[in-house]
Protein backbone atom coordinates (compact mmCIF):
# COMPACT_ATOMS: atom_id res chain seq x y z
CA UNK A 1 0.00 0.00 0.00
CA UNK A 2 1.27 3.49 -0.78
CA UNK A 3 2.37 5.46 2.25
CA UNK A 4 -0.16 7.92 3.56
CA UNK A 5 0.56 11.43 2.36
CA UNK A 6 2.81 10.37 -0.56
CA UNK A 7 2.52 13.43 -2.80
CA UNK A 8 -0.73 14.21 -0.99
CA UNK A 9 -2.27 10.87 -1.98
CA UNK A 10 -4.41 9.04 0.57
CA UNK A 11 -3.88 5.37 -0.21
CA UNK A 12 -6.95 4.35 1.81
CA UNK A 13 -9.14 5.52 -1.02
CA UNK A 14 -8.01 2.48 -3.01
CA UNK A 15 -10.27 0.39 -0.80
CA UNK A 16 -13.28 2.12 -2.34
CA UNK A 17 -12.39 1.60 -6.01
CA UNK A 18 -13.70 -1.98 -6.46
CA UNK A 19 -16.96 -1.06 -4.71
CA UNK A 20 -17.35 2.06 -6.85
CA UNK A 21 -16.81 0.09 -10.04
CA UNK A 22 -19.25 -2.59 -8.88
CA UNK A 23 -21.83 0.08 -8.02
CA UNK A 24 -21.68 1.59 -11.50
CA UNK A 25 -21.96 -1.89 -13.01
CA UNK A 26 -25.00 -2.77 -10.86
CA UNK A 27 -26.75 0.51 -11.63
CA UNK A 28 -26.16 0.04 -15.34
CA UNK A 29 -27.37 -3.55 -15.17
CA UNK A 30 -30.66 -2.74 -13.46
CA UNK A 31 -31.37 0.16 -15.82
CA UNK A 32 -30.60 -1.85 -18.95
CA UNK A 33 -32.56 -4.91 -17.78
CA UNK A 34 -35.58 -2.81 -16.82
CA UNK A 35 -35.40 -0.81 -20.07
CA UNK A 36 -35.31 -4.03 -22.08
CA UNK A 37 -38.06 -5.99 -20.35
CA UNK A 38 -40.42 -3.08 -19.75
CA UNK A 39 -40.94 -3.28 -23.52
CA UNK A 40 -41.55 -7.05 -23.63
CA UNK A 41 -45.28 -7.80 -23.14
CA UNK A 42 -46.41 -10.85 -21.21
CA UNK A 43 -48.55 -13.38 -22.99
CA UNK A 44 -51.31 -13.19 -20.36
CA UNK A 45 -51.50 -9.38 -20.57
CA UNK A 46 -51.88 -8.52 -16.88
CA UNK A 47 -50.64 -5.10 -15.78
CA UNK A 48 -48.37 -4.70 -12.79
CA UNK A 49 -51.23 -3.24 -10.76
CA UNK A 50 -53.53 -6.17 -11.66
CA UNK A 51 -50.87 -8.70 -10.68
CA UNK A 52 -50.17 -6.92 -7.40
CA UNK A 53 -53.88 -6.69 -6.52
CA UNK A 54 -54.50 -10.34 -7.31
CA UNK A 55 -51.49 -11.56 -5.32
CA UNK A 56 -52.33 -9.38 -2.34
CA UNK A 57 -55.91 -10.65 -2.32
CA UNK A 58 -54.80 -14.27 -2.59
CA UNK A 59 -52.73 -13.81 0.56
CA UNK A 60 -55.45 -12.16 2.60
CA UNK A 61 -54.12 -8.63 2.13
CA UNK A 62 -57.26 -7.07 0.68
CA UNK A 63 -56.78 -4.09 3.02
CA UNK A 64 -53.41 -3.16 1.49
CA UNK A 65 -54.08 -0.43 -1.10
CA UNK A 66 -52.07 0.08 -4.28
CA UNK A 67 -51.05 3.62 -5.15
CA UNK A 68 -49.15 5.08 -8.08
CA UNK A 69 -45.86 6.72 -7.15
CA UNK A 70 -43.87 9.26 -9.12
CA UNK A 71 -40.73 8.54 -11.12
CA UNK A 72 -39.09 5.49 -12.65
CA UNK A 73 -38.16 2.59 -10.36
CA UNK A 74 -39.81 4.28 -7.38
CA UNK A 75 -41.71 1.10 -6.51
CA UNK A 76 -41.83 0.15 -2.83
CA UNK A 77 -43.93 -1.28 -0.03
CA UNK A 78 -44.46 1.03 2.94
CA UNK A 79 -44.69 -1.16 6.07
CA UNK A 80 -45.72 1.76 8.29
CA UNK A 81 -48.77 2.70 6.25
CA UNK A 82 -49.21 -0.81 4.78
CA UNK A 83 -49.38 0.69 1.28
CA UNK A 84 -47.90 -0.72 -1.91
CA UNK A 85 -46.73 1.96 -4.35
CA UNK A 86 -45.90 1.29 -7.99
CA UNK A 87 -44.24 3.58 -10.50
CA UNK A 88 -46.38 4.53 -13.53
CA UNK A 89 -44.62 2.13 -15.90
CA UNK A 90 -44.97 -0.80 -13.51
CA UNK A 91 -48.51 0.11 -12.49
CA UNK A 92 -49.93 0.46 -15.99
CA UNK A 93 -47.92 -1.79 -18.30
CA UNK A 94 -48.36 -5.49 -19.00
CA UNK A 95 -44.74 -6.45 -19.46
CA UNK A 96 -42.22 -8.85 -17.96
CA UNK A 97 -40.52 -6.06 -16.03
CA UNK A 98 -43.73 -4.54 -14.71
CA UNK A 99 -45.20 -7.78 -13.35
CA UNK A 100 -41.82 -8.85 -11.91
CA UNK A 101 -41.33 -5.61 -9.99
CA UNK A 102 -44.96 -5.60 -8.83
CA UNK A 103 -44.68 -9.17 -7.56
CA UNK A 104 -41.43 -8.31 -5.78
CA UNK A 105 -43.15 -5.53 -3.83
CA UNK A 106 -45.99 -7.87 -2.97
CA UNK A 107 -43.31 -10.18 -1.63
CA UNK A 108 -42.40 -7.47 0.89
CA UNK A 109 -46.05 -7.09 1.89
CA UNK A 110 -46.27 -10.84 2.50
CA UNK A 111 -43.05 -10.73 4.52
CA UNK A 112 -44.56 -7.99 6.67
CA UNK A 113 -47.78 -9.91 7.19
CA UNK A 114 -45.93 -13.11 8.11
CA UNK A 115 -43.50 -11.40 10.49
CA UNK A 116 -40.43 -12.28 8.40
CA UNK A 117 -37.59 -11.83 10.91
CA UNK A 118 -35.02 -10.06 8.67
CA UNK A 119 -37.68 -7.54 7.61
CA UNK A 120 -38.69 -6.94 11.24
CA UNK A 121 -35.04 -6.44 12.16
CA UNK A 122 -34.55 -4.03 9.25
CA UNK A 123 -37.58 -2.00 10.33
CA UNK A 124 -36.17 -1.75 13.86
CA UNK A 125 -32.74 -0.63 12.62
CA UNK A 126 -34.07 1.79 10.01
CA UNK A 127 -34.61 4.92 12.20
CA UNK A 128 -31.11 4.66 13.69
CA UNK A 129 -29.57 3.87 10.31
CA UNK A 130 -31.28 6.85 8.68
CA UNK A 131 -29.98 9.16 11.39
CA UNK A 132 -26.55 7.56 11.32
CA UNK A 133 -26.10 7.84 7.56
CA UNK A 134 -26.72 11.59 7.67
CA UNK A 135 -25.17 12.51 11.03
CA UNK A 136 -22.04 10.34 10.91
CA UNK A 137 -20.14 12.66 8.59
CA UNK A 138 -20.46 15.62 10.99
CA UNK A 139 -19.07 13.66 13.95
CA UNK A 140 -16.26 12.27 11.80
CA UNK A 141 -15.27 15.65 10.37
CA UNK A 142 -15.22 17.34 13.79
CA UNK A 143 -13.11 14.50 15.15
CA UNK A 144 -10.66 14.89 12.25
CA UNK A 145 -10.44 18.67 12.45
CA UNK A 146 -10.14 18.88 16.24
CA UNK A 147 -7.86 16.05 17.46
CA UNK A 148 -8.81 16.68 21.09
CA UNK A 149 -12.35 15.69 20.14
CA UNK A 150 -11.24 12.47 18.47
CA UNK A 151 -13.84 10.48 20.39
CA UNK A 152 -16.47 12.15 18.19
CA UNK A 153 -14.97 10.34 15.23
CA UNK A 154 -15.55 7.04 17.03
CA UNK A 155 -19.19 8.02 17.53
CA UNK A 156 -19.47 8.89 13.83
CA UNK A 157 -17.95 5.58 12.79
CA UNK A 158 -20.34 3.73 15.10
CA UNK A 159 -23.32 5.56 13.55
CA UNK A 160 -22.07 4.76 10.08
CA UNK A 161 -21.62 1.11 11.09
CA UNK A 162 -25.33 0.94 11.97
CA UNK A 163 -26.13 2.21 8.48
CA UNK A 164 -23.92 -0.52 7.04
CA UNK A 165 -25.65 -3.11 9.24
CA UNK A 166 -28.95 -1.95 7.76
CA UNK A 167 -27.58 -2.66 4.28
CA UNK A 168 -26.42 -6.11 5.34
CA UNK A 169 -29.82 -6.99 6.81
CA UNK A 170 -31.50 -5.67 3.66
CA UNK A 171 -29.91 -8.37 1.47
CA UNK A 172 -31.90 -11.40 2.71
CA UNK A 173 -35.06 -9.27 2.68
CA UNK A 174 -34.62 -8.37 -0.99
CA UNK A 175 -33.49 -11.80 -2.17
CA UNK A 176 -36.38 -13.46 -0.37
CA UNK A 177 -38.87 -11.03 -1.94
CA UNK A 178 -37.46 -11.77 -5.40
CA UNK A 179 -37.65 -15.53 -4.86
CA UNK A 180 -41.24 -15.15 -3.67
CA UNK A 181 -42.03 -13.03 -6.74
CA UNK A 182 -40.81 -15.64 -9.22
CA UNK A 183 -42.66 -18.42 -7.41
CA UNK A 184 -45.91 -16.42 -7.22
CA UNK A 185 -45.81 -15.34 -10.85
CA UNK A 186 -45.39 -18.94 -11.97
CA UNK A 187 -47.81 -20.47 -9.47
CA UNK A 188 -50.71 -18.22 -10.44
CA UNK A 189 -49.97 -18.18 -14.16
CA UNK A 190 -49.04 -14.53 -14.58
CA UNK A 191 -46.00 -15.53 -16.63
CA UNK A 192 -45.43 -18.55 -18.83
CA UNK A 193 -42.36 -20.76 -18.84
CA UNK A 194 -40.47 -18.88 -21.56
CA UNK A 195 -40.95 -15.60 -19.70
CA UNK A 196 -39.28 -16.78 -16.48
CA UNK A 197 -35.80 -16.06 -17.76
CA UNK A 198 -36.61 -12.41 -18.38
CA UNK A 199 -38.25 -12.07 -14.98
CA UNK A 200 -35.18 -13.57 -13.32
CA UNK A 201 -32.88 -11.12 -15.10
CA UNK A 202 -34.93 -8.14 -13.96
CA UNK A 203 -35.05 -9.30 -10.35
CA UNK A 204 -31.40 -10.37 -10.19
CA UNK A 205 -30.27 -7.06 -11.64
CA UNK A 206 -32.27 -5.21 -8.99
CA UNK A 207 -30.74 -7.39 -6.28
CA UNK A 208 -27.25 -6.48 -7.49
CA UNK A 209 -27.82 -2.86 -6.51
CA UNK A 210 -28.32 -3.91 -2.88
CA UNK A 211 -25.18 -6.04 -2.97
CA UNK A 212 -23.28 -3.07 -4.39
CA UNK A 213 -24.64 -0.74 -1.69
CA UNK A 214 -23.53 -3.16 1.00
CA UNK A 215 -20.08 -3.55 -0.55
CA UNK A 216 -19.64 0.22 -0.80
CA UNK A 217 -20.75 0.67 2.79
CA UNK A 218 -18.34 -1.97 4.11
CA UNK A 219 -15.47 -0.52 2.07
CA UNK A 220 -16.14 2.98 3.38
CA UNK A 221 -16.35 1.69 6.94
CA UNK A 222 -12.97 -0.03 6.59
CA UNK A 223 -11.49 3.16 5.18
CA UNK A 224 -12.79 5.20 8.10
CA UNK A 225 -11.25 2.74 10.56
CA UNK A 226 -7.90 3.00 8.79
CA UNK A 227 -8.00 6.80 8.83
CA UNK A 228 -8.90 6.79 12.52
CA UNK A 229 -6.09 4.42 13.42
CA UNK A 230 -3.55 6.50 11.51
CA UNK A 231 -4.36 9.52 13.64
CA UNK A 232 -3.69 7.70 16.90
- 105 as an active site residue: the answer is yes
User: Among 97, 82, 125, 78, which Cα is nearest to 33's?
Assistant: 97
DSSP, residue by residue, 39-99: SSB-TT---HHHHHHHHHHHTT-TT--EEE-SSTT--EEETTTTEEEE-HHHHH--BHHHH
Q: Which of 50, 67, 89, 105 is catalytic?
A: 105
The answer to whether 188 and 57 are in contact (CB under 8 A) is no
Helix (H, G, I), strand (E, B) or coil at 9: strand
The answer to whether 82 and 112 are in contact (CB under 8 A) is yes
Annotated catalytic sites, by residue? 105
Amino acid sequence: MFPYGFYGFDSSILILLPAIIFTFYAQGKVKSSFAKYIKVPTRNNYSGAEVARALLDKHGLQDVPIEMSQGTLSDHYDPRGRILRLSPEVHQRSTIASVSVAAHEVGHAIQHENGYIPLSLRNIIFPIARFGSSAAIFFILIGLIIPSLGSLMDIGILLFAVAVLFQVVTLPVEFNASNRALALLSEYGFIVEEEKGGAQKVLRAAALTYVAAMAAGIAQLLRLLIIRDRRR
